[in-house]
Amino acid sequence: MHKIVKELIIILGIAVLIWLGIAYLDIFPRHPELISEETEEELGDKYLEAILKNPQFTQCTNKFIINSVDSICNRLESAIEDPVYNYNYVVIENSMINAFTLPGGNIVITTGLLKYCQTADELAGIVAHELGHAQERHIISRLVKELGIEIITSGDIFVLGEITKTITSSSFDRKQEEKADEYACKLLQKAKLEPRILARLFGRLKEDTQNNALKNFEIVNSHPNFSSRIKNILAFEVEDTNHVDTLKINWDEVITALGNSNEEE
């Protein structure tokens, strides 16, 4: 009898280990070691090119808007200790409220998001979050896990189009979002910006979504679980609020410029 019980315990232990292994692989995406950063950058450029060929995603050419966004992004990037990529920031003419990261360090920001942000610091919060996804290589991890290396590197035009749809609309998993939020808070603090600004923006997005105040909330679909994330961001321990140096960008001028955002200045 004792021997039978012992064997059952061993079998149960093995079953638990197998279950934990499967759960671990399901929760945590495979690290994209099989794709070099150089290959990833090439893929990212192809995906960006495909996105910009879509008439719904016309690249913004207004110099004032581009310079304003670059100023915000450069402030953040200068605080990154070890950048994984040479980052490229692209503003596209689209009413959806969103920003998304492509493989290889391309970060796309919609004019709809610019209009929704009330300050330059709010946009900095979103960009810091996207930089978190990029630095952790979340997007390529997700593509490798969901589609496999052969598909994402095939170069097939049809496949390319489907992958770009996935990138612009589907969501990261909960742990990836939390990790990107945590990275954003740390980066904002290093850049001498208020880390919890992101919680304010998420709170407004959550409230407006519940009230159906606005359409085109693609950022809500691609970055879910606002309630728990707001709580985590507000709980972030700020080292010294006296060192906050708000971005010196007149956001009202940016909003005004968005009315003629395809005109060169």
Identify any residues that bridge with 104 across adjacent strands, giving them in sequence order.
Answer: none
Q: Higher model confidence: residue 74 or residue 259?
A: 74
Residue carrying the six token digits 């610019």? 114
CA distance 104 to 31: 15
Is the pLDDT at 229 greater than 70? The verdict is yes
133-181 per-position pLDDT tens digit: 999 999 888 888 888 888 888 878 888 878 887 777 667 888 888 999 9
21-55 per-position pLDDT tens digit: 444 344 444 455 568 888 889 989 999 998 898 88
116-127 per-position pLDDT tens digit: 999 999 999 999
CA distance 188 to 179: 14
83-104 per-position pLDDT tens digit: 999 999 999 999 998 999 999 9
pLDDT at residue 141, as a whole number: 87
pLDDT at residue 153, as a whole number: 82
Closest CA to 72 of 23, 41, 26, 107: 107
Strand ranges of the sheet holding 99-101, from the earlier edge strand across to the other edge? 58-59, 88-93, 106-110, 99-101
* Mean pLDDT score across all residues of the chain: 82
pLDDT at residue 7, as a whole number: 53
Is the pLDDT at 108 greater than 90? The verdict is yes
- Rounded to an integer, the average pLDDT of 1-19 is 51
pLDDT at residue 156, as a whole number: 81
CA distance 139 to 124: 20
CA distance 105 to 39: 12
Helices and strands, number each (H, E), in the chain? 13, 4
233-258 per-position pLDDT tens digit: 999 988 776 678 999 999 999 999 99
pLDDT at residue 15, as a whole number: 47
Percent of the chain with pLDDT strictly greater than 90: 48
The alpha carbon of residue 95 and the mean position of all alpha carbons in its chain are separated, in whole angstroms, by: 18
- Rounded to an integer, the average pLDDT of 192-197 is 94
Identify any residues that bridge with 49 across adjacent strands, giving them in sequence order.
Answer: none
CA distance 87 to 109: 13
Q: Output the six-digit token pair for 104.
A: 């290889």
Q: Higher model confidence: residue 172 or residue 16?
A: 172
191: left (phi over 0), alpha (psi -120 to 50) or beta: alpha
Q: Return phi, psi of residue 204, to 5°.
A: -70, -40
